Amino acid sequence: MSDSATGRSSGDGDGTRVVRAGLPEPVKYEPTLPGPAFAAHYHLPGEPTGPYTYGRDENPTWTLLEHAVGELEAPGQEGVETLVFASGMAAISAVLFSQLRAGDTVVLPSDGYQALPLVRTQLEAYGIEVRTAPTGNDAQLEVLDGAKLVLLETPSNPGLDVCDIRRLAEAAHAHGALVAVDNTLATALGQRPLELGADFAVASGTKQLTGHGDVLLGYVAGRDAEAMAAVRRWRKIVGAIPGPMEAWLAHRSIATLQLRVDRQSATALAVAEALRERPEVTGLRYPGLPDDPSYKVASQQMRRYGCVVSFTLPTRARADRFLDALRLVDDATSFGGVRSTAERRGRWGGDAVPEGFIRLSVGAEDPEDLVADVLRALDESAE
Ligand SMILES: *Cc1c(COP(=O)(O)O)cnc(C)c1O
């Protein structure tokens, strides 16, 4: 699979692919990545046919970004379509609400992203039956009967459990259900759900995909033309579209995705290894630690293990003191950015986690500096 004009080949390494992902063919005197196309409408004499008619339907800056994401989620695969959205929730909701009808049944993770319970209430208000199952040990297998759609989130946020995408997709398909995988935490460089049998890869681009904590974005990539037409129609109806500036910033950021993901994953492993030695730390989770409960399945389906480490400190007060004492880690929500962040996840009230549970997102700082900061903050936060 090569494209001589753009220099792309799906056989290249990830670093090579991300710097060229989605770029248009070179045109003399034009920039490599054209700037954002700020347009509510386009010149359109005569018959109103596409590709560009009105700004809620299509935008050339989205088109380039959609090509980039598609090349990363499904390298070399024909017929995969990608649509970008205003946020991860816009993308996830587009799949759920465009595919499900009153009387249908959907399976959601019980330990997934904290906005899913709100989505559940809305689905139920529309007469859709919602079942939930935890991510670990492929528990969804027990609740597939009669389901129309299954949403997996692996690794789960914030618990970092992992499920076997290939196994669950096969089982779901045998029951006639479609499968969507939330690929936010892993990114397309960490795992490729469509290759593992999923029908949709959905993600928040707000996290590591864009990686600088300055953009909200989401996307859906899917291989079923009819299902994707419904997702596209949903985007048009709801209007949950990204601004051209956000789309362009996202595309620009993807060029460094491999550098960031490799660095952040390697440092996350170093931080997890350091935390493992500490007696006050319990419930340490990182899918890339060989003795983690997620490791066996993660090592089969993931190519990188992500930037999030989670663990529990003995009390809420200890966790708060620890967060206070960190110098290089901002006390903030979200994850995947170049600057490390951490938070006491229980402060939101939405996740079933202990009071002292910390979700730490490892940034692009020097690993030695970050590990030293974490260990010092642990010492300083002790009574
Ligand atoms: C953040 C997040 C979302 C929601 O994304 P937004 O861009 O904030 O709407 C969905 N799923 C997971 C796993 C997330 O971490």
Over the Cα atoms of the chain, what is R_g?
21
Probe target for ligand 1 pocket from 118, 157, 214, 359, with the most ligand atoms within 8 Å of CB = 157
Domain boundary residue among 227, 254, 281? 254
Q: Residue 11: CB partners within 8 Å, gap ≥ 6?
A: 1, 2, 76
CA of 206 from ligand 1 middle (Å) equals: 7
Q: Report the domain count for the chain.
A: 2
Per-residue pLDDT of the chain (383 residues; tens, 9 = 90+): 456 677 888 889 999 999 999 999 999 999 999 999 999 999 999 999 989 999 999 999 999 999 999 999 999 999 999 999 999 999 999 999 999 999 999 999 999 999 999 999 999 999 999 999 999 999 999 999 999 999 999 999 999 999 999 999 999 999 999 999 999 999 999 999 999 999 999 999 999 999 999 999 999 999 999 999 999 999 999 999 999 999 999 999 999 999 999 999 999 999 999 999 999 999 999 999 999 999 999 999 999 999 999 999 999 999 999 999 999 999 999 999 999 999 999 999 877 899 999 999 999 999 999 999 999 999 999 97
**349 and 321 in a common domain:** yes
Q: Pocket around ligand 1: residues whose beta carbon is below 6 Å from it?
A: 87-89, 113, 153, 157, 182, 184-185, 204, 206-207, 216, 218
**124 and 32 in a common domain:** yes
Domain boundary residue among 254, 285, 306? 254
Closest CA to 358 of 303, 291, 307, 313: 313
148, 105 contact by CB (below 8 A): yes
Beta bridge partners of 81: 222
Q: Residue 295: CB partners within 8 Å, gap ≥ 6?
A: 287, 288, 289
Q: Which amino acid is at 85?
A: F
Q: What is the CATH classification number for the domain harbouring 350?
A: 3.90.1150.10
* Closest ligand 1 atom, residue 205 Cα: 7
Does residue 181 sit in helix, strand or coil? strand
pLDDT tens per residue across span 297-320? 999 999 999 999 999 999 999 999
Q: Number of C-alpha atoms within 13 angstroms, CB side, residue 117?
A: 7
Residues 59 and 39: their CA atoms lie apart, in Å, by 8
Q: What is the CATH classification number for the domain harbouring 67?
A: 3.40.640.10
Return the beta strands (E) in 259-307 as ranges: 282-285
**111 and 89 in a common domain:** yes
Residues 290 and 101: their CA atoms lie apart, in Å, by 42
Residues 304 and 311: their CA atoms lie apart, in Å, by 20
For 132, the domain range is 3-254
Nearest CA to ligand 1 atom 5: 88
DSSP state of 185: T
Probe target for ligand 1 pocket from 118, 156, 207, with the most ligand atoms within 8 Å of CB = 207
**150 and 58 in a common domain:** yes
**111 and 152 in a common domain:** yes
**301 and 191 in a common domain:** no
**79 and 66 in a common domain:** yes
Tokens found for residue 251 = 């595309």
Sort 77 into a burial class: Cβ within 10 Å, 0-12 / 13-18 / 19+: middle
CA of 370 from ligand 1 middle (Å) equals: 25
**265 and 237 in a common domain:** no
Domain boundary residue among 254, 271, 295? 254
CA of 373 from ligand 1 middle (Å) equals: 28
**314 and 165 in a common domain:** no
* CA distance to 22, 68, 131, 251, per residue, from 257 (Å): 14, 12, 35, 10
**218 and 84 in a common domain:** yes
**128 and 55 in a common domain:** yes
**291 and 206 in a common domain:** no
